[in-house]
Chain A
Amino acid sequence: QKEVEQDPGPLSVPEGAIVSLNCTYSNSAFQYFMWYRQYSRKGPELLMYTYSSGNKEDGRFTAQVDKSSKYISLFNRDSQPSDSATYLCAMSPSNEKLTFGTGTRLTIIP
């Protein structure tokens, strides 16, 4: 079993739709949870950063962490064509290296 599991997609949704991306993990020591967005032929860029359980909102995006279920989610409540990218989850215990998911390729159809 991989330490971090993420559905690779691809996922296609119409503009304006609500999108939910998810990762599950097996290491209960993970405390820091991140979502990176990677456009085609570019390096990943940090989108959301959360610590421990709970929700965090930033514009159209909401990150949720459920440590009891070892499950994290990223919601986009008004998806735009410019959101078409690959989304990678990443997580780490305190002061250690990040472990990345394989990424979900998302396309928003105008």
Chain B
Amino acid sequence: QSVLTQPPSASGTPGQRVTISCSGSSSNIGSNTVNWYQQFPGTAPKLLIYSNNQRPLGVPDRFSGSKSGTSASLAISGLQSEDEADYYCAAWDDSLNGNWVFGGGTKLTVL
């Protein structure tokens, strides 16, 4: 049971806009920023979005992040087949002396 809640799956067709949600609480998303990671099978996670809505160099602007209250979202516009991957949200949690927490991950399928 992950501290942050994500839908286990999401899907879309090429060119479509897809959003993935991440729900938390006041001790994590409600008081800290959210980061998003993209992971392809058999590879390490890659930083996709940091500090709620910042893109590292090299990440296409098709990927965007937002946060409101105790929830966050990752949006992917102009969906491409190569976007098919697992996506994880993460945030610092202030409870129990501090702890990084992750969502359970969302598997994105491009139909």
Do chains A and B stick together as partners?
no
Binding site for A on B (CB under 8 A): none
